């Protein structure tokens, strides 16, 4: 969801230089991540998984995940003034649907959602890494 959100929603504000740098960061990270992920899936389906592909799948995320999150958050943060000024993707009352939506505040909620979600997902990947690469049995509490 977040990848689609960033690609679609921030498209109009990419002209700003400070946004462009963070977009380049998360696009490079996403590219390396997807190449690694789909190489892993493909070789796994062919029942011929080279150790390097397996190793890359469970090690690259250690750097790529935080870098990608940083790029995403910097992009959203840099776009906030533009979104607020233009009312981009916001729906104001009164309207025929009798509902309002403020995209600016939605983006702020998305940014704050990283606080509880990022560590949970990151540590899940670390547990998966231990299980797959080191054969450890992880007991979930």
The full 3-state SS of the chain, as one line of letters, equals CHHHHHHHHCHHHCCCHHHHHHHHHHHHHHHHHHHHHHHHHHHHHCCCCCHHHHHHHCCCHHHHHHHHHHHHHHHHHHHHHHHHHHCCCCECCCCCCCCCECHHHHHHHHHHHHHHHHHHHHHHHHHHHHHHHHCCCCCCC
Active site residues: 65, 72
| Contact criterion met (CB below 8 Å) for 127 and 47 | no
Residue 92 has, within 13 A of its CA and on its CB side, a CA count of: 5
């Amino acid at each position: 969801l977040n990848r689609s959100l960033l690609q679609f929603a921030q498209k109009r504000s990419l002209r700003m230089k400070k946004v462009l740098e963070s977009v380049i960061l998360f696009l490079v990270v996403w590219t390396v991540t997807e190449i690694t992920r789909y190489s892993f899936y493909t070789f796994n389906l062919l029942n011929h998984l080279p150790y390097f592909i397996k190793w890359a799948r469970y090690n690259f995320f250690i750097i790529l995940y935080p870098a990608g999150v940083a790029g995403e958050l910097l992009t959203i943060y840099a776009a906030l003034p533009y979104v607020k000024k233009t009312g981009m993707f916001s729906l104001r009352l009164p309207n025929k649907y009798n509902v309002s939506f403020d995209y600016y505040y939605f983006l702020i909620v998305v940014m704050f959602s990283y606080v509880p979600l990022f560590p949970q997902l990151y540590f899940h990947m670390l547990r998966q890494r231990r299980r797959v690469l080191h054969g450890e049995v992880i007991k979930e509490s």
